[in-house]
Structure 1
């Protein structure tokens, strides 16, 4: 299929030459060398901050605390701007400071800070407040910033354009200012380091390199919150809290599920080196300090919530009072070590700088927002800049909450998914009651959206009474959909402790379907469901997405039950359901069989290439369920492949909410890799932000999976129990990867060059049998197991194009053609 546009697949055209011959070097060294090249670049101040959706400014985070860098939106009178030689000539000018290079706002939010009002749309994560850093001398100056992935730092370089003599000091044109910001990986602190180039001087009445900086800390006000702020000896403090109240203008005075409080304490270091010089008195305040060459100033802010301490303000003040610049340096070392270990776990290199940048950028964003086990990132991560985030930024279970982690398992970053399950498991009592009261079934029935700690975010008196005044939007399959991530993690790790954790949820989800399914004419049928978001309570029969989730649910539950040796007596029923679920619905149009959204009901009208939002059906067919893939029945596989080929352009690029599924679906079924890569580059060019997030109108951080999952699946597929090397990659394009995680708990490293698989190494974590599609067709494969006394060749069984061999836990195996 030809693309309607012409773009080069590769910017550089090849893998970095120095890395081609390093396959015997440790994976960490190769990974770190590749990631050192990756960064987000900003040549102008952010424009989409604050926002209800995804911001475009630099992003920082440690998996809990998040900071969004933006500008300050207001107008201000600027004094003393003088472009002539007579710097005593003074005048004023009113300037628009929206997105201005001299105004920097650090928006502070945190995964565990929510307004916990259990009514739609008033239960949501909320911003805490922010720190404003104003450098008046940088007015109209140049702006450049880099979001450095290797060290998780944002570095600004600003250059003054005008002579600025009031407010003080008198700063010359052409001064270069540096600002480095980072959040320690191991502490909930924000560090901002400011410095300026040039010559140090004590004379400030003539043009110098000394720069004045204003710093303020503020709590976000409004939305029924209470705020307070005050001074410290070397800084400030601010508090924002939500607690139940009837003293507000809110339409409803629903009590909060819990009170929330967040405190920020900020301290400045080395800011008293210069006294403020004489001034005419306009445009400066006691918040100002002097930044001079050789005398950097450091700002440290501690952020604490009531989930960390019963007295957040006291704890935050204690933390900043105790810290020293020497401790900041220790934290920097720990911070960089954490990120080195993170980046060392795996790598890909494909010779395409744009795609690689977003590949690693996506992992950076997930590591920055997803490490609080009790509070997963919201729909927009831990980068909340408004009290009215779209869709209340809760955990949407009809794809938004599931999708962000779809790329972390195969990238060997499964620990980033630790927070995923917590709100789902915490919500089980409410979901259990929903099933009993609304469906008269056992099991679990989840709304579209939920919050942390069992918070109900979808209760609304304006919704359908027959759906319990909750937003189900007709869907019955949200719990089964949520189980897909659990199976992904289980199959990639075979972690039995994790399996024990999720097993009760899986069983109760199956209980719902065991009661809700109707067995008719030798098959199980799903009635009263919805293939999309509807307002009629759900009237589709055998909606394709739900049918796919339920197929994958019972298949996966049987596997987990066997591994845990639990509920043997129930497996016969589960197997019967698995074997007799209805086939996926198709529409017969002439000689063609076309994918259909539902067997009957409103969804049945959506079939063929023009059905709109084609990704909806593929959620159940291909990704993330894995029901159809390269090893599937050829007839069914061809139907899906033909469907992908027929997608119109709007299904590929600039989709509202399809990026997390479209490309991975295409490569899972073997779509033309040249076409896929060209379209992917086009998508990133259109909707990629400088902070390396990919904007989609219908969501937020779920797009972090789009590039990693697509590229990983092009290089290595394993979901059908067979390792396939470079299954959907252009054979003429060199590529390599290290320690990608495959189903069966295998870590795989390989390289493709000159159209041939050059190397293949497989590490077995759990000692499971390994099956590989022969990378060297028509040649016998030899397998060598690494040992302390050297490699030894082990027995291999060959069947058709597949190679099978036994492994042991911790075993390392090198495959090569005989």
Structure 2
């Protein structure tokens, strides 16, 4: 598939004495086996090929008469925000008092008119159409169907090059399309059947501003320079109500063609001549190689205007340089970790989703929202395309740890920094408490108010510890104490401050509870119940307890690591006191399934979940897993058996929980992924059953048309957990794997900053390699039960025995574990 572009680059390298690209890495070679192929025109957004450099995203669609590139960018948003009713929202104490007075007999809180009106008022700001991702326009290349036929495309996920196949006068041509991985640019190069640069087969070029552009902001301005440069400039005002020009942003989409473009006319069905559209031009015949360069500029108004004057050269040589840089970027990316699996379906899931993940985010760019950097019209704007902190925002970053892409988690750390000021403000002014309370929904724009201060999902307490959990994981997997000190400790401490204040309120502790526990009250389980009259299902939810315990323990450990005992002694005392008096996880005695965990006290075994909220102490709480005591493990297995899930928010979450318990059926997992996979290769949120929020008239794929679900790029994390686990500090190899299926992996990351490589062949684990980045104690569950183990790399005491192999490591050193004959 790459022969065309490689031939061009090879010729140019020989002419200039430049070396050819080095041999692909194993990971890059394996990724190349899984192109996304469409053997026909693919005009729909979700049939298109996804490209991206982590900031800019491009969807390449193909029509029978044209090729279209739809542009988006993580940094480009309609930045206006509605923050009305600030004087009417009140405080938590005031709203809690009103909620406490609602009669228990009401069917719901909406049946009290005064409270229902208040709920509507607090949701009013969120009903505004902005903020939202702002699509950045489309480049269209048209051709005469009498001379050119669109055959299909093949997207090479190893290097991000989309090969569009065309029949030109009966001869095969390829249009190569790719994004520059270091600059917000896209390249289009046409080659013939021998891979040589080819003259244009296109007769029309058009730049189209997005059709969903609001009418209440400044109209785009056409940009034209010379005979081969065309595009537009769009301002994005900070506010249209109270203008602040110094805060306005903008973007520009600029197309640089390698040949002259001409104005002209077309004939309508009435036989009348009409001029081409504003940014539409004919592409006259030329012998010059067809090459187009597209630049997307974004930022503050003055910055964008200044950068628009730059002249870019759309030459095959410049395209070659971009492609060479790209291959280096992709080679380094695939070199971070790799898997080689006999099960090719799982291997494909792993590589494809890590490809999409790299296209979707990069350090320095805005953290992607629900639908990342791909948008067109209203696609990508549901729920504002924002941050939902009840799992959607956290989930995609789960893959960064075990897959050894920690640099990507810095994007998440930046998001925490962005949200911290408004979260502190809300904790202080709304709750009257210390620390920070993170919002249910949030935007990548300037905020003075929680976007969704509604006392249902807006009262989900667990979102605060959950938001900072990824910072602690970053430390655990990297061993980077500087990151812990500079980036992680303060947000973790803020979450702990809020939780201790919230749990030690008189309403959450005391005689009326009939115990000495500190309760999390009120709160709301994820995607269930909402706020109830009498607070029926609004206290001590499993996920609240699990994540509160997680962050309390993380804080206490961080204090020790950073040697802050003296400075933190008062808060440490309070945390330990509360931690010792946490409520037990809610349970239910099921007649059919036995003793099971439930998401909240009072829940039974007939509930249909959305988020798998009754297994959160397994994950993300990480309190239980393969090492759970036998009695608890049985309850966990009972819970899994009883669990019903409506689908949509489970495809990564629930399957990861099951893998942590070693009970994930990988065949079932593959079938679910196949069911939810769209034509373009991404996995959507798909409905599985009725009984919860869905009924027999529900379109089971209704979420598939909303956008590209960024969260599901975490699917490789599920596979990683089947290959290796280290959640409790002990490395377990192939804990959820059919030993009859060969598998190997390179440099998956374990807690303690260990990079682990292992293989399973003919049912036996082969010698294991452990690279220690930071030094420290390494613990490995003996992969050869009953055998002694030799640890190569230790100076002395290199023979270990027992179920747990533990040894001290040195920073920067590799250790090989081998079984010794005899028992």
Q: Output the TM-score relative to the length of structure 1.
A: 0.80
Q: How does 1:442-461 map to 2 (within 5 A)?
A: 442-455=434-447, 459=451
1:378 aligns with 2:365: no
Measured in 2, the distance between the counterparts of 1:414 and 1:434 equals 30
SS at the partner of 1:525? Answer: coil
Q: Which moved more, 1:216-225 or 1:754-763?
A: 216-225
Q: Cα deviations across residues 281-331 of structure 1 (Å, max 9, x unaligned)?
A: 979968222567x85311101111125x733144134052x5654333222
1:510 aligns with 2:508: no
Cα deviation for residue 631 of structure 1 reads: 0.9
Measured in 2, the distance between the counterparts of 1:559 and 1:138 equals 71
Measured in 1, the distance between the counterparts of 2:641 and 2:148 equals 49
Measured in 2, the distance between the counterparts of 1:677 and 1:637 equals 20
Measured in 1, the distance between the counterparts of 2:652 and 2:773 equals 29
Equivalent in the alignment of 1:109: 72
Measured in 1, the distance between the counterparts of 2:421 and 2:41 equals 46
**Contact 1:272–1:289 (Cα < 8 Å) also in 2:** yes
**Contact 1:28–1:344 (Cα < 8 Å) also in 2:** no
Cα deviation for residue 584 of structure 1 reads: 1.0
Equivalent of 2:657 in 647, 661, 665:
665
Measured in 2, the distance between the counterparts of 1:623 and 1:157 equals 45
Cα deviation for residue 379 of structure 1 reads: 1.1
1:801 aligns with 2:798: no
1:359 aligns with 2:350: yes
1:305 aligns with 2:305: no
1:241 aligns with 2:241: no
**Contact 1:476–1:529 (Cα < 8 Å) also in 2:** yes
Equivalent in the alignment of 1:39: 35
Q: How does 1:20-99 map to 2 (within 5 A)?
A: 29-46=25-42, 48-49=44-45, 55-70=46-61
SS at the partner of 1:191? Answer: strand
Equivalent in the alignment of 2:151: 143
1:543 aligns with 2:541: yes
Structure 1 residues not aligned, in runs of 5+: 1-25, 50-54, 72-99, 161-171, 201-207, 247-251, 787-791
Structure 2 residues not aligned, in runs of 5+: 1-21, 83-125, 687-702
Q: How does 1:469-508 map to 2 (within 5 A)?
A: 472-500=457-485, 501-508=487-494
Cα deviation for residue 116 of structure 1 reads: 1.4
**Contact 1:196–1:291 (Cα < 8 Å) also in 2:** no
Equivalent of 2:521 in 518, 524, 527:
527
Equivalent in the alignment of 2:224: 231
Equivalent in the alignment of 2:590: 589
Equivalent in the alignment of 1:77: none
Measured in 1, the distance between the counterparts of 2:155 and 2:556 equals 45
Q: How does 1:314-393 map to 2 (within 5 A)?
A: 314-320=306-312, 324-387=315-378, 389-393=381-385
SS at the partner of 1:338? Answer: helix
SS at the partner of 2:166? Answer: strand
Equivalent in the alignment of 1:260: 249
Equivalent of 2:814 in 799, 812, 815:
812
SS at the partner of 1:739? Answer: strand
Aligned residue pair count: 706
**Contact 1:404–1:701 (Cα < 8 Å) also in 2:** no
SS at the partner of 1:803? Answer: strand
Q: What is the aligned-residue RMSD (CA, Å)? A: 3.3
Cα deviation for residue 336 of structure 1 reads: 0.9
Q: 1:566 to 1:691 in 2, by over 3 A?
A: farther
**Contact 2:291–2:315 (Cα < 8 Å) also in 1:** no
1:580 aligns with 2:572: no
Equivalent in the alignment of 2:613: 616
SS at the partner of 2:632? Answer: helix
Measured in 2, the distance between the counterparts of 1:797 and 1:454 equals 56
**Contact 1:661–1:706 (Cα < 8 Å) also in 2:** no
Cα deviation for residue 30 of structure 1 reads: 2.5
Q: 1:39 to 1:237 in 2, by over 3 A?
A: same
Q: 1:236 to 1:737 in 2, by over 3 A?
A: same
Measured in 2, the distance between the counterparts of 1:336 and 1:779 equals 44
Equivalent in the alignment of 2:132: 124
Cα deviation for residue 48 of structure 1 reads: 4.3
Measured in 2, the distance between the counterparts of 1:230 and 1:209 equals 26
SS at the partner of 1:349? Answer: strand
Cα deviation for residue 104 of structure 1 reads: 2.3
Q: Which moved more, 1:322-331 or 1:472-481?
A: 322-331
**Contact 1:346–1:411 (Cα < 8 Å) also in 2:** yes
Equivalent in the alignment of 1:641: 637
**Contact 1:214–1:289 (Cα < 8 Å) also in 2:** yes
Measured in 2, the distance between the counterparts of 1:254 and 1:608 equals 54
Cα deviation for residue 148 of structure 1 reads: 0.9
Q: How does 1:756-771 map to 2 (within 5 A)?
A: 756-771=764-779
**Contact 2:261–2:281 (Cα < 8 Å) also in 1:** no
Measured in 1, the distance between the counterparts of 2:458 and 2:285 equals 56
Q: 1:457 to 1:220 in 2, by over 3 A?
A: farther
